[in-house]
Amino acid sequence: MVASGRVAYLARRGQDYGVHTNGASTDGKNEISIDMKKVRERKRNIVNSFRTGNERRTKEAGVHIFMGEGSFVDSKTIKVKMNDGSETTLTADTICINTGERPDKPELAGIETVPQELVLDSTSIMELGEVPGHLLVLGGGYIGLEFGQLFRR
């Protein structure tokens, strides 16, 4: 009964998530449609909220954040070309750099024959304009599993 209550709650909130129910089909199951624009908008808002919240809390803790492209001058000095075009030089006994990560294309025989707009990664898959009719997820890490589950559902 608790599970049924949860499903009813989620069904009522479906439009907030870009999921719309269209009534029962001939097999008795509810038909749904996905508003990928709404899904992407919600994802972008959550990412922006996390990013700005994390930056604010980091700054409140007394940490200085430098957004730009850095290069070492020597083992204790780094020059940063800031995103606004200015430059700054930083010196410290210990320098921590958070470069972030970017997805990499797999080395897979024949992948060059696939149209590149069809080869998605964990960033580009979140910008799809519609749910794909077919999808092959390579990799069994948690990100691949999450996307497999998301698009199967």
10-residue mean pLDDT series, the chain (153 residues)? 78 87 77 87 91 92 89 94 95 84 84 89 88 86 88 84
Which stretches of 17-126 are assigned E, i.e. beta strand? 19-24, 30-34, 68-74, 77-82, 87-91
Query: What tokens appear for 113 in the block?
Result: 């024959």
pLDDT of residue 67: 87
- Residue 108 sits in the same domain as residue 148: yes
| Within a domain: 144 | yes
Question: Is 109 found in the same domain as 94?
Answer: no
Convert the pLDDT of each residue in 120-142 to its tens digit. Answer: 998 899 888 888 889 999 877 88
Cα(119)–Cα(109) distance, integer angstroms: 13
Instruction: Report if residue 80 sits inside a domain.
Output: yes
Structural domain count, the chain:
2
- Cβ neighbours around 39 below 10 Å, total: 17
**104 CB-near residues (< 8 Å, 6+ apart):** 121
CA distance linking residue 153 with residue 136, whole number of Å: 14
User: Is residue 29 situated within a structural domain?
Assistant: no
Do residues 110 and 138 share a domain?
yes
Please indicate, yes or no, whether residues 108 and 96 belong to a single structural domain of this protein. Answer: no
Residues 127, 145, single domain; the answer is yes
Domain limits for position 72: 66-100
Residue 85 shares a structural domain with residue 125: no
